[in-house]
Structure 1
Amino acid sequence: MWSQYQSDSLAKCVLKYFLAKVQDEEIHPLLDFALSLSQNHVAWIRNTYKNQGFSCPVGFTDEDVNLNANRLFDDIFTLHYLNNMSRLGLAAYGLALSTASRQDIREFYTQTLHESIELNERVVKLMLQKGIYVRSPYIPANTHVEFAQRQAFLGNVFSQSRPLTAVEIMHVFMNIQTNMMGKAMLTSFWQTASSPAIRSHFLRGKEIAQKHIEIFTKRLAADDLSGSSSMEPLITTSMQSPFSEKLMLFHVSALIQMGIGNYGVAISTSQCYDLAVDYTRLMAEVALYAKDGANLMIECGWFEEPPQAVDRQSLVERQTTEVFN
């Protein structure tokens, strides 16, 4: 719930800006629907925390968005963003529901899961109508069942093995798409950030995303499959940031968390050793980048600590100090 409050309060800022700039009348209702969901989620969590006597997270407010900033994103980009956001919601709310025990919390996450399904359905439908939905690669239909005869099917660490399976193709393709989205967001943040240190951080992330895209695209190309097209053309030339640097840094952190999660799932479903090795080393690279981003937020005083277990060693030390004083 704490993490969702952070994410939904951020989404409120981003969606308000998108709504202020959208020109496509078909996209406007989707943005309005997505914004209403985030607003309702934030309000429900805030009230629940208040009723339980918990302090509510700070998250993000209207101070973190400038609705008067110049247009930074094309309307088509907002559709890709909504598609990505609804996918994230499906994964996050499904996990939250499966681990919750309180009835009101379970009902809340059941509702949010249904809302994410509806948002994703409406977004994908419109993307298909506009001809901009990027479909995963096609493979010929199997005409008969085969069983592996050699352990070479699993491959080895030092060389590329057999062609990818359908499940492996799906994950490689999805990781290309998420990196495309991340790279486009990082490009817009790099283009508009004012702090040299933060701008440098965004540029580094952009280069990491490009590297990962190239690795995954090459893996698909080896099996004569195609990846995804760049989203950078959907970013305008505006250098006026609509978002605070605090919001931008946190947004990148959220994208990284989603990316690491995707890599982890991909590893668990990959039966190809060399592919699993790629995911593992790329995950480590992204984790290091995420740590540097967190250090930047701490240096700037923007890192809001999540709820933690009690540090009992600290309590004992404090009590000892008070006794001696």
Structure 2
Amino acid sequence: MDHNPKLTSSELGVLWNAYMQNTAVLCFVKHFDKNNEDQSIDALIKTALNNIQFAVEGSKQIFEIEKSPVPFGFNESDVNLEVSRLYSDLFALRYIKYISAVGIAAAAVSLELSARTDVRTYFTKIIESLSSQYNSASDLLLQKGVFIRSPIIPVPEKVEYIQEESFLSGVFGRHRPITAVELSHVSKNLETNSIGRTFILGFSQIAQSIEVKEYFTRGKEIAEKHEDIFREILLKDDLPLPSVWDSTISHTTTPIFSDKLMMFHVATLNATSVSSYGGAIAGSLRKDLGVQYMKLLTEVIEYADDGVKIMIKNQWLEQPPQAPDRVALRRNMTI
């Protein structure tokens, strides 16, 4: 007999998340495809569309096989493809590189949490397709001379062990030079905040709700503040600042994306920042960097929490699958 176990809670959770994330991203990439004028990236955008549609249909099919309700997610009602561009073609290219990297990381975690063969095969194919997509996007950015690189530091002359606890540095006073590992986290978080700031700035321009507009404006200010902090870290070590992301935004104020979709995407950006800051704390031996990341992390969590409240208030937050409430069940039985 073939062994076809039911989906575990982990598998149900990662498939639900994959469906939600990919239906959201599909709306943005469709907008980029509709307005793209750069022929050099047209094939990549078409590839991204195919990869995202595969991810959406793959998770949907597993839900249907299991007779599990398919999440609402996002669809054509959340994006107006008849409105002209909001962001530049170059930003679209950088966004595809960004979502490829985020998608690879998410699919790798999902693969680790999955036991069933069909679920593992699904996430394995996603990792393979997104890896190719990431490399294609990176190659195009390099060809255009706009790939944002981390600062370059001298290659060490020899390998050595840390000799003194002073290497950890204190919270105040003079600090030892930043390590390559710490520098990689600073560069990554600077890039993440740059793309987030550009996205939120555009969102604030087309949002329909005043409350949502104000929320996005606050998010833009937070991203700018965090960018300044990371730049200051580089400047104090006399390191060159990386070039900025293309932040060209059109003058349109016509709604392109639904407030529900934009709020969900900002929630995703917040979750990415929380994960990145957590990894940076673990990878930073300098105490002052750890303290700084903790402050930034707290600010992002508070901002994300306020966003969730807005989504719940407007009934935009779809409920993930959850375990049964045994207490409520017992109470119903006794009535």
After superposition, residues 237-248 of structure 1 pair within 5 angstroms as: 237-248=251-262
**RMSD across aligned positions (CA):** 1.2
Structure 2 unaligned blocks of 5 or more: 1-14
Change (3 A) 1:147 1:53: same
Among candidates 144, 167, 182, match of residue 196 of structure 2: 182
Paired residues of 2:31 and 2:85 also in contact (CA < 8 A): no
Partner of 1:249: 263
Counterpart residue type for residue 60 of structure 2: R
CA distance in 2, matches of 1:242, 1:232: 20
* Other structure's SS at 1:258 match: helix
CA distance in 1, matches of 2:329, 2:178: 54
Partner of 1:37: 51
CA distance in 2, matches of 1:260, 1:277: 15
Task: Give, in angstroms, the shift of residue 228 of structure 1.
Answer: 3.4
Q: 1:259 and 2:307 equivalent? A: no
Paired residues of 2:91 and 2:246 also in contact (CA < 8 A): no
Partner of 1:82: 96
Partner of 1:154: 168
Among candidates 85, 110, 115, match of residue 96 of structure 1: 110
Q: 1:68 and 2:89 equivalent? A: no
Task: Give, in angstroms, the shift of residue 232 of structure 1.
Answer: 5.9
TM-score (norm 2): 0.93
Counterpart residue type for residue 46 of structure 1: K
After superposition, residues 1-325 of structure 1 pair within 5 angstroms as: 1-159=15-173, 161-231=175-245, 233-320=247-334, 323=335
CA distance in 1, matches of 2:63, 2:241: 44
CA distance in 2, matches of 1:292, 1:233: 26
CA distance in 2, matches of 1:178, 1:193: 22
CA distance in 1, matches of 2:241, 2:50: 34
Paired residues of 2:35 and 2:85 also in contact (CA < 8 A): yes
**Identity across the alignment (%):** 38
* Other structure's SS at 1:58 match: coil
CA distance in 2, matches of 1:159, 1:69: 53
* Other structure's SS at 1:33 match: helix
Task: Give, in angstroms, the shift of residue 101 of structure 1.
Answer: 1.0
* Other structure's SS at 1:27 match: helix
The 10-residue stretch of structure 1 (148-157 or 281-290) with the greater mean CA deviation from structure 2: 148-157
Task: Give, in angstroms, the shift of residue 250 of structure 1.
Answer: 0.2
Offset from partner CA, 1:6-35 (integer Å, 9 cap, x none)? 110011111111100000011111111111
CA distance in 2, matches of 1:270, 1:160: 16
TM-score (norm 1): 0.96
CA distance in 2, matches of 1:71, 1:65: 12
Structure 1 unaligned blocks of 5 or more: none
CA distance in 2, matches of 1:99, 1:54: 19
Task: Give, in angstroms, the shift of residue 319 of structure 1.
Answer: 2.5
CA distance in 2, matches of 1:114, 1:233: 30
CA distance in 2, matches of 1:190, 1:85: 21
Paired residues of 1:173 and 1:227 also in contact (CA < 8 A): no
Offset from partner CA, 1:224-268 (integer Å, 9 cap, x none)? 113334446421222123100000000000111111111111111
* Other structure's SS at 1:234 match: coil
Task: Give, in angstroms, the shift of residue 76 of structure 1.
Answer: 0.4
CA distance in 2, matches of 1:236, 1:69: 11
Counterpart residue type for residue 102 of structure 1: R
CA distance in 2, matches of 1:251, 1:41: 17
* Other structure's SS at 1:226 match: coil
Paired residues of 1:159 and 1:274 also in contact (CA < 8 A): no
Counterpart residue type for residue 133 of structure 1: F
Change (3 A) 1:237 1:160: farther
CA distance in 2, matches of 1:299, 1:63: 20
CA distance in 2, matches of 1:65, 1:154: 49
Task: Give, in angstroms, the shift of residue 149 of structure 1.
Answer: 2.1
Task: Give, in angstroms, the shift of residue 75 of structure 1.
Answer: 0.4
Paired residues of 1:183 and 1:205 also in contact (CA < 8 A): yes
Task: Give, in angstroms, the shift of residue 318 of structure 1.
Answer: 2.6
CA distance in 2, matches of 1:236, 1:230: 18
Q: Alignment length, in residue pairs?
A: 321
